[in-house]
Structure 1
C-alpha cells in the first residue's frame, strides 16, 4: 500500500453522533484506516466535534476533523463521499456533487440474512446521483468488518507482556483474578451481574469506564446497606471498590487503541452496539454482546442472527452456553448460575472465540472492501 504521508485521493466522511460513542467510533476508525492503509486523505465532518476530539486524541496527519453544523459552508465536494449510518448529506453539499461523485452510505452492522441481498445496491436520488448502500457483515457477500493491520500486534503485546500492558493502561496486573471489562447500555442487568461477581468462586476484577460509573453506583446501592454508603459517593476514574469477591475498578476514557488492548487483556468482555462488539471479536476472547434495545424486541432478532453465525462451527456441547449468556444479559435475566457456567467452561469459550476470530480474519476487511467497491464502480463507468 502507498505510504500514509503521501495521500493520492481525498474523501469526505459525514457522521452524526447518535449514541455518544458508536457512530463516531466507527467513523474515526474507518477514516484512520483509509488514511493509514490506503493513502487517502479524509475530511471527517462531525456534528459533535468535542466528542470526536476525544476519540481523535493527538489526531491523524491525514484525517481532518470538520465541524458539521446548520451553518457549515462547503467549498467543494470530494471525489468520494461516505455517509455513515444514513445520517444524510447537507443539501448545500449535495449541490456541489457531480455525476462523477461516488456516494456510499455505510450502514449499520447486522448478521441478519437480508443484509447480503441489499449490500451494494444503488438508490437513485432526485438530484440524479446514485447513493449506494454498503452493509458491513459477517460473510463474503457483505461489506465485511473493520479490521486494521495493527490488531495482531496488540494481541501479541497483551500475550507477551501482560504486566507491561496493564501498566500502560494505568492498572496493575491481577493474574489471580478473572479480568472482566464492562461496556453496556442502561437497560443491562448490572445489579444482577454485580451480585453474581460478588459471589464468584474465583476472584474477579470488573473494569468499568467512568461513563458507566453512575450506573454501577446505582446497582451497588441495591446490593446491601453497607454498599449504599459507598455508592452514595460519586465513582470516579481511579476509584476501587471491593465488593465481596469482586474488585470494581473505574478507569478513565481510553483511546481506541488502548481500548483494543484492554479487550485483549481481559478474560471476558461485555460489549454493546457496533464498535465495541467488533473490537471484542478481534480480541479473540469470550464476550457477551448487548444489542441496542428496540421496540417489539427487534434487537433480540439481531442477537439471534449473530448467535447463529457465531456458533455455526461450535461443538454441540458449546452451542448452548454463549446463547444462554447473551440472551440472559439482553433480556435482564442474568443470574449467578450464568457466571458460574462461564467459569466452568471459560477455556472452551476462549478456544471458540479464537477460532471464530481467525475464521473471520480470512475475509477482506471493511475498508479494503470499500476501496475495491469504489474502484469497480469507476471502472464500470469508463
Structure 2
C-alpha cells in the first residue's frame, strides 16, 4: 500500500521522531511512504541516510500530483490541509483515514482504540476517520518495534561501544535525556556520590545541566546529536536511562535497562494521571514510584543512592514489562492489518 503520514512538530521534535520510526518501519516491510512535515530539519541528524521507500516533503498546501495514498495517517490530531479534506470528500474510493494518537497507559485507550469518527460537516462530510491508539496492552494498537530490533540488540557489543566513548566496562553509566526536572540537582549529587559517568544528550538536557552547580567528582560526557539507531545503542549500553516524552520511553523499554521517565508536563496537570497509569502498568516497585514522583515534581526533589540493589530491582521490573510487550503484536503489524481491513 501507499501511505501518506502528516506530521506537525509541536516542540522538541518528538512528534517527528515517532513519525520517522513509523515511516521507516513501514518502508522496511515493503510499503511506499510519503512523510509530510512542517519542520523536518531534525532528520538531518535523526536519520541522515534517509530510508529507501520513504520520501520526505514539506507540509502540503495542495493534494499530491499523483493523488492521496491508500492510507492517510494524521499524526497526533494535526488535521489535514483543506485541500486534502476536499479530496477525501470527492474521492470515489477515499483513503483509509487514521488519526494516530499519543501513547498512554490510561484505561480510556483500550475503550477508544479503533473507534470510528464519522465527519458530519465540512468538505469531508460523510467520510470516516479512525482513531488508532498505541498502547501497552493487547487491546490497544501496540508499540513501534522493528522486526529486526531484537537481532540488532543481541548483536550489540556493549563493551566495545563503551570503549569508543572512553568508558570502562565496569563503570556505572547513566544517560540523561530530559526537560528540566525539579530533581536534576539531586541526580547530579547521586551520580557524583556513586562515581558514575553521566552521558548528557544535547538540547534541553545539556542546557539544564550547565545551568546548575556541579558537585565535586561529577563525571560528565556531553553527547552530540545522533541518529535513532545510535540513540538505541546508547540506551542498550547504559545502566540507567533517564528519558523523556514518548519515543525514548518506548526505546528504553525495549532496551530492558532501568529507566526513569520524565513525562511531558501539561498545564492542567493531566500528566500526573498519565504517569501514574504507566507506573501501574509497569508494576513499578515503591522505590521506582517514589523516584518518578520526585523526578516529575510530584514530591520533594530527594533521590535515593544509585545502589546496585536499587538498580537491580528496577532492571527486573523493566525486563518483566519488556517480556509482556514482546508477547504482543507490534504497532506496524497491527496498523497494516487494520488499514487493509478498512479498505
Give the equivalent residue in structure 1 for 2:279. Answer: 307
Is the 8 Å Cα contact of residues 181 and 295 (structure 2) preserved in structure 1?
no
Query: Runs of 4 or more off by more than 6 Å in structure 1?
Result: none
Residue pair 1:154, 1:264 contacting (<8 A) in 2 also: no
Distance (Å, rounded) in 1 between the aligned partners of 2:85 and 2:53: 23
- C-alpha distance in 2, partners of 1:88/1:175? 48
Instruction: Judge conservation of contact 2:158–2:236 (CA < 8 Å) in 1.
Output: no
Matches within 5 A, 1:1-382: 9-37=1-29, 39-68=30-59, 71=61, 74-75=64-65, 76-97=67-88, 98=91, 99-125=93-119, 126=121, 127=124, 128-158=126-156, 161-166=157-162, 170-200=164-194, 203-211=195-203, 212-220=205-213, 223=214, 244-311=216-283, 319-331=285-297, 333-336=300-303, 338-340=304-306, 342-378=307-343
CA contact (8 A) 1:154 1:261 kept: no
C-alpha distance after superposition, 1:180-221 (max 9, x if no partner):
111111244322211222222xx201101121322111023x
TM-score, length basis structure 2: 0.92
CA gap 1:56/1:290 in 2 versus in 1, 3 angstroms: same
The residue number in structure 2 matching 1:5 is none
Q: Which ranges in structure 1 are unaligned for 5 or more consecutive residues?
A: 1-8, 224-242
User: 1:198 and 1:335 mapped to 2: Cα distance?
Assistant: 15
- Report Cα offsets for 1:299-346 as digits up to 9, x if no partner: 1111110111000xx6xxxx211111111111163324x234x54322
| CA displacement at 1:286 relative to structure 2 | 0.7
Greater helix content: 1
Give me the CA root mean square deviation: 1.8
TM-score, normalised to structure 1's length? 0.83
Aligned residues: 333
